Amino acid sequence: MDFERRHVELEKKIEQMEEENVNLRLDVDAQKLEADKLSKGKNKAEEELDSLK
C-alpha cells in the first residue's frame, strides 16, 4: 500500500512539473514576441528618424 501511495504522489508531482514547464515555455514565447515587437518598433523609429535627416 505504501508503494502505491508513493507512486500516485510521484505521478501527481510529475504532472504538476510538466504543467509548470508548459507555463514557463508559454512565458518565454510571450517574452520573445514582446522583444520582437519592441525591436521592430525600434527599427521603424530609427528609419523614420533617418528619413528626417
Q: Kindly report, residue by residue over 16-30, the tens digit of the pLDDT.
A: 999 999 999 999 999
**What pLDDT, on a 0 to 100 scale, did the predictor assign at position 23?**
96
Supply φ then ψ for residue 22, to 5 degrees: -60, -45
Domain ranges of the chain: 1-53
Is 1 a residue whose pLDDT tops 80?
A: no
Which of these, 29, 25, 6, 28, lies nearest to 17 by C-alpha position?
25
Query: What are the pLDDT digits (tens) for 36-52?
Result: 999 999 999 999 999 99
